[in-house]
Chain A
Amino acid sequence: MRIRELTLSWFRGAAAEATLPTSDKSMVVFGPNGAGKTSFVDGIEFLLNKGKIDHLSHEYARRLDDAVVNTHAPATATRRVALKTDDGSEVAASIAPGGAPRFSGEEVVAGWSKRRVVLRQDEVSEFVHQSKGDKYSALLPLIGLGPLETVAANVRALAKRFKEEAKLDRLAAELDRMKEDWGRAFPGMDRAAVGEAIKELHLNYLPGETMPGSIGSALAALRPVLEARVAGLTKEHAQHLHITTAHEAGLSECVAEAVLASEKAAALAQPLLEERLAVLKSASAFGSKIQDDDTIACPACGSSVLAADFNAHVAAESARLESATTAFEVRRAAFSRLANAVATAKSALGRPDMDAWRSAPQQVPIAAALAVLAASDADRLREGMPPEDLAQLRDAVLAISRHLADCVRAVPPSVEALVRDQKSIEAASSHPTMRAHTERIGKIRQMMEFLADAEAQVRAEIKDRTEAVIASITTDMQRMWGILHPAEPIDQVRLYQAEDAEKAIDIALRFHGKEQLSPRLTLSEGHRNSLGLCVFFALAKKDGRDLPLVLDDVVTSFDREHRTFVADLLLQEFATTQVLLFTHDHDWYVELRRRLPGKQWGFKVLLPWSDPAAGIRWDPAPYGLGAARALLDSNPTSAANTARSVMDVRMPVIAEQLEIPVPYIKGARNDLRGAKELLDRFQGRVGKHFRKKDAKGNHVPSDEPAVLAKAVTDWLATYGNRGSHGAYLTRPEAERLIVACEQFLSALECPDCGSALWQVTEGDGACRRCDCGALLWKLGH
């Protein structure tokens, strides 16, 4: 499918209307910086990406008026992007003032992934610069594995959510507490011994009663008896019971553990962050420091260290991270135990029958500490606590703990025994709950293992499929790299999945015979961008669907030679694909105009953008001189300079195509001929080489191009030199120069068929003819 027409109305840099017609051909669009090229690319992305333009989205969120609409769009104006395809279908988006876009015909571009269709300069370099993980994220949707990655991410999120919903941490903490109580009540005893202990309690508290047939029945009989005994205690005894319960909660041990674990975790976290940052900075400098003998110049001290030592450093960092993870686990467990202890003590000391004890003069020293305990929230405590809050709780808990220890010493022996027995009954009674918790936790963990396994299986599948896709595009990548970099000692470029990470893809290559696992280590910016292009093009080829490719200034970092190879690549690999190529590089535009076949390619030039009301405008004048004309009113001197630079680019192409010989100049100046020198030599060749059909159909000599070339030469000498040497030109002077240039270039263009002698690519080797044959230029001497 091809793009037939793209129309912007008050979108980005466009005013009322800016249309890019393609006639279903590929297009090269030249425009100086800010002319509006990217507005067209943004328009396409807006339609393909459901109203989102990635490189702007973080700036505007949903406020489309602030970003994608022309800043001076009239309130009532239609703001719209529309794209017509070669079958006459149209997809469009209208943006109401302050509102969300309304789309129509979205099905026309269904399946046109933005990442597959559009490539921008910053994305090419960004891709190669990205981490392995980011490359993975960028590539997966392109190779059709985005949905599986989404599944994996959703399963992981579901597992986390499930764990929260099941309250696994809380259940596990409760089970731990019950096990601890059991251990204290029945130290080292098996179930049979516990049963005997319960029977003994039954005999003690219910003498003469028949021993029930089961431990559960015995416990059921014992509980009310003990509760009645406790209820029958004097007020003082009951208080002692609660004090003992609070004391045995182990507040001071738990808080000490939590403080220690917290400090250890905090001590690990801060330097860890700082050192991780340092490692990242070092790693970024790594690429430029590697040397031929497998050593690395240390980014910090400059000394040379073995690459193996660097790897050891990385391994040590990994161990450090694992240690930090363990420390945080220990901290979590310590806080959980502290929360249990606080809950027990708070419950025991906060009972209504403890009111008198709390307000007694003996408790005045710990009144503030009791208030802290009463205000504490066990559930929040389980999640951790800031250091200053923990310090406050620690002080309170330690004060209460010391005070309780003194109080407990005064507990009457009869109460102490009753408390112990009641705790044994409670611990034994918790057995069914412990069993239920254990069973429930087992089920929860099994489900979590199932989800983890499901995610692992999805990821394994992604890995397998990615490997297969990588293998299948490697041949294309390497062939394209060969076109862009013929006979260079960098080869075997390929994507690979890194083994040391779950989600990681990088680019490997052979650099002067040596394997490199990252292009960042050895390649220049331009070569890296070449790699990015090869990956994008190879994926487009792999996709196999006949979708357009939209390339926005993707060769900015390429030198002239490699830009030429990009044209070769497009001709060889994408001859039947529609390519919309936007560039600000005038030299390259001229080269492409000469090299790319007119039957498949169209060419358009944008005028410099002047103001929001004028918007994006096409150059109505041929040869790019419209840019010079556009400056006539505002800056005549600049207009003349622009005309001169246009001629400086055009004339070498004309001289090369029409085989106008120039004497060799030693050094770089040989390739830097000015328009004036070439125009002088052109004039001398016209009489012998230029022919034009007369009314009778005969090719006759004409000196018109020579006369017009002389006019350009004269005006360049008069005005062009002045303009480029600091003097000012008037509007009529600059216009005179521009008109002379236009007339000269027109003289080489056929008025009937419209083709220019220096742009035709076909000929018999002896001459160049326009498409209808009316104009002719004899080649050779």
Chain B
Amino acid sequence: MTQAAEEPLADAPADAADWVDNRISVAMSERAIPADAVSALKEAMRGQMADRTMPAGELQKIARVLLFSIENAK
């Protein structure tokens, strides 16, 4: 049985947020993604992305933050 199977299923929501957070950090180190964009994405994921399907308005806000961060990246 793998590590994942032994994890309690009831903890999945928090676990999902942690997991995504961790993976984005790894991805940040592997790619030249501006730190601001990664922070915005992590914040969004931690707060909402694992809980529910996000409405268009919220996605638009995050998309704009990502866009701003890549436009202003040195």
Q: Which chain B residue has the least Cβ–Cβ distance from A157? A: B59
Cα distance, A543 to B31, chains bound together (Å):
38
User: Considering the chains assembled together, what is the distance between the CA atoms of A226 and B33 in angstroms?
Assistant: 43
Which one, A148, A446, A469, contacts B19 given CB within 8 A?
Answer: A148
B16 touches A545 (CB 8 A): no
> A150 touching B37 by the CB < 8 A rule?
no
Question: Given the complex of chains A and B, what is the CA–CA distance between A164 and B60 in angstroms?
Answer: 9
A162 proximal to B (CB < 8 A) = yes
Report yes or no: A465 in contact with B5, Cβ–Cβ below 8 A: yes
In the complex, the answer to whether B63 meets A454 with C-beta atoms within 8 Å is no
Q: Are A144 and B67 in contact (CB under 8 A)?
A: no
Question: What residues of chain B lie closer than 8 Å to A144, measured between beta carbons?
Answer: 9-12
**CB-defined contacts of B32 to chain A, threshold 8 Å:** 446
Contacts of B49 in A (CB 8 A): 150-151, 154-155
- Report the minimum CB–CB distance from B57 to chain A (whole Å): 10
Instruction: Enumerate chain A residues within 8 angstroms of B53, measured Cβ to Cβ.
Output: 150, 153-154, 157
- Chain A 128-149, CB within 8 Å of chain B: the 1/0 string? 0000000000000001111110
Flag whether A457 is at the interface (Cβ < 8 A).
yes
Contact of A543 among B9, B52, B73 (CB under 8 A): B9
Whether A60 is near chain B, meaning CB under 8 Å from some CB there, is no
Number of interface residues of B (CB under 8 A): 43
Interface centre among A158, A164, A464 (most CB of B within 10 A): A158
- Which among B10, B31, B50, B66 is the interface contact of A151 at CB below 8 angstroms? B50
B4 partner residues in chain A, CB cutoff 8 A: 461, 464-465, 468-469
Given the known interface contacts A151-B50, A446-B33, the answer about A542 and B59 at a Cβ–Cβ threshold of 8 Å is no
Segment 13-58 of B: residues with Cβ below 8 Å from A:
13, 15-17, 19-20, 23-24, 27, 31-33, 37, 41, 44-45, 48-54, 56
B12 touching A145 by the CB < 8 A rule?
yes
For residue A229, CB closer than 8 A to chain B, the reply is: no
A453 with B27, Cβ < 8 A, contacts A147-B50, A151-B20, A458-B20 known: yes
Which residues of A sit under 8 angstroms from B50, Cβ to Cβ? 147-148, 150-151
From the candidates B24, B27, B41, B73, name the one contacting A443 in the complex (CB within 8 A): B73
In the complex, what residues of B have CB within 8 A of residue A543's CB? 9-10
| Separation of A542 and B71 alpha carbons in the complex (Å) | 48
Which chain A positions have C-beta within 8 A of B45? 151, 154
Which residue of A161, A454, A467, A469 contacts B59 across the interface (Cβ within 8 Å)? A161
Contacts of A166 in B (CB 8 A): 63, 67
A454 to chain B, nearest CB (A): 6
Given contacts A144-B12, A151-B20, A469-B9, 10 further A-B contacts (CB under 8 A): A145-B16, A147-B13, A148-B19, A150-B49, A158-B54, A161-B59, A443-B71, A447-B66, A464-B4, A471-B1
Which residues of B pack against A, CB within 8 Å? Answer: 1-2, 4-5, 8-13, 15-17, 19-20, 23-24, 27, 31-33, 37, 41, 44-45, 48-54, 56, 59-60, 62-64, 66-67, 70-71, 73
30 A–B contacts from the bound complex (CB under 8 Å)? A111-B10, A144-B10, A147-B16, A148-B12, A148-B16, A148-B20, A151-B20, A151-B50, A154-B45, A154-B54, A158-B59, A161-B63, A162-B63, A162-B66, A162-B67, A165-B63, A446-B31, A447-B33, A447-B70, A450-B33, A454-B20, A454-B23, A454-B41, A457-B27, A458-B20, A461-B4, A471-B1, A472-B1, A472-B5, A543-B9
